[in-house]
Amino acid sequence: MGRLRFLTAGESHGPALAATVEGIPAGLPLTAGEIAVDLARRQRGYGRGARSTSIEQDRAEILSGVRHGLTLGSPILLLIRNRDWVNWTRVMQVEPLTDEQAAELAAMAAGGDKKATPITHLRAGHADLAGATKYGFDDVRNVLERASARETAARVAAGAVARSLLRHVGIDVWSFTAEVAGVAYDRAGATRTREESEDSPLRCPDADAEERMIARIDEARAAGDTAGGVFEVIATGVPIGLGSHVHWDRRLDAALSGAVMSIPIVKGVEFGLGFEQTRRFGSAVMDVIEGRDGAGEWSRQTNNAGGLEGGISNGQPIVVRGAVKPISTLPRPLPSADLVTGRPVEKGHYERSDICVVPATGVVAEAMVCLTLADFVLDKFGGDSLAELTDNLARHRERIAKGPISATSAVSTVSTVSAAPGRAAITGAAPAEGE
């Protein structure tokens, strides 16, 4: 990340989660209420467990960077208190344990309180084994407290700040559930509006497919198993020109895929037609460019590229899909091994768990996409205040509506028509070797 940075902190059963968002310009309207909308969306979804639906009920407090409802340009500190903390004060205590407190914990463990018992039965599909080995822990709780996807609540809060910025520059980001356990939504059957999809159990635009997805989740639950799937994130209103082809680390597609891939449980990312492109000939994949209309908008017949070409946003909606693996913690745990003895055990540790989190992961992915797009918007258009940023962006939109001729005329007196970037492809001039 460049202009916009964020860091999260906090353990799953600690006192709170926090996020620091740095680089948001001054003058952006921001309230805890709008952050709460996304936090609530992350907690919903058919297949989620008790913690997310009843215990958490997240709300972020804004502790810095905002005055009288407007950002100040200074770091924004967000705090989400863990409501379950009251039950974990001794187990997750920050201060060293006194002898008395250590004895109290030991007594809790001896009395069968699982919270107080060191976790050594490893769970496959979690950071348990690799994390504990890497950091030299003999209690997996020291790993799972941070590796837990509870952390994604802090990302969603940070993402809501970025979303607010994007809204003011005309960019909208939304996601829906596209697939669960092999049941895919059908584009033709996706007749629900966005609002209707949001209100549906799986945030799916296809009612018929959703019913079958729910049946798959029920099937998994009945078998003591879990289910994965695919979410799709769509960003509209993204101007041409975010990211760059000139360097690997300036490509917007690379940044977006890294951001989405960083979500625990995401195992694959694709844009537009994604891997399906590999099964078709080129003529059935490339998005034919039809021309620029009177308002300066370029039109295409399709958007198989998912809004990105050469690592740059091309003005089409950005479409990112993420593969969500089935939840690792199974209600009917798999056999495993003990961290300390190294010997096989009958079953891995069981921590209260969800059955399917595809809708929630879509919301987390929205946050990661918002944060990444906001970073690239700020990188390209700058501005210390929202007014400065929106002015810069408006000038860019005006300029690109006129075409590349005006972009080069400011620095060159030679005929810019044939030299202008992008011209060759449109007029059919010979491309460079191998392109």
**Contact residues for ligand FMN (CB under 6 A)?**
49, 125-127, 147-149, 152, 263-265, 325, 327-329, 353-354, 357, 360-361, 364
Nearest distance in Å: CB 151, ligand FMN? 8
Using the minimum distance from each CB to ligand FMN, give the nearer residue, 127 or 214: 127
Residue 223: both structure tokens together: 């078998």
CA dihedral sign of residues 142, 144, 149, 150: negative
Nearest distance in Å: CB 109, ligand FMN? 23
Using the minimum distance from each CB to ligand FMN, give the nearer residue, 177 or 304: 177
Using the minimum distance from each CB to ligand FMN, give the nearer residue, 125 or 237: 125
Query: Parallel, antiparallel, or unpaired: how do β-strands 70-71 and 66-67 relate?
Result: antiparallel
Residue 144: both structure tokens together: 């799972």
Nearest distance in Å: CB 174, ligand FMN? 17
Nearest distance in Å: CB 236, ligand FMN? 24
Using the minimum distance from each CB to ligand FMN, give the nearer residue, 73 or 268: 268
Using the minimum distance from each CB to ligand FMN, give the nearer residue, 5 or 325: 325
The per-residue DSSP string of 286-353 comes to S--EEEE-TTS-EEES--TTTTEETTEE-SSPEEEEEEEPPPSS-SSPPPEEBTTT--EESS------
Nearest distance in Å: CB 423, ligand FMN? 44
Using the minimum distance from each CB to ligand FMN, give the nearer residue, 38 or 287: 38
Burial 392-424 (b: 16+ CB within 10 A, else e): bbeeeeeebbebbeeeeeeeeeeebeeebeebe
Residue 196: HSE in the Cβ half-sphere, 13 Å Cα cutoff: 8
- Under the phi-then-psi rule, with left for phi > 0, alpha for psi from -120 to 50, and beta for the rest, what region is 248? alpha
Nearest distance in Å: CB 360, ligand FMN? 4
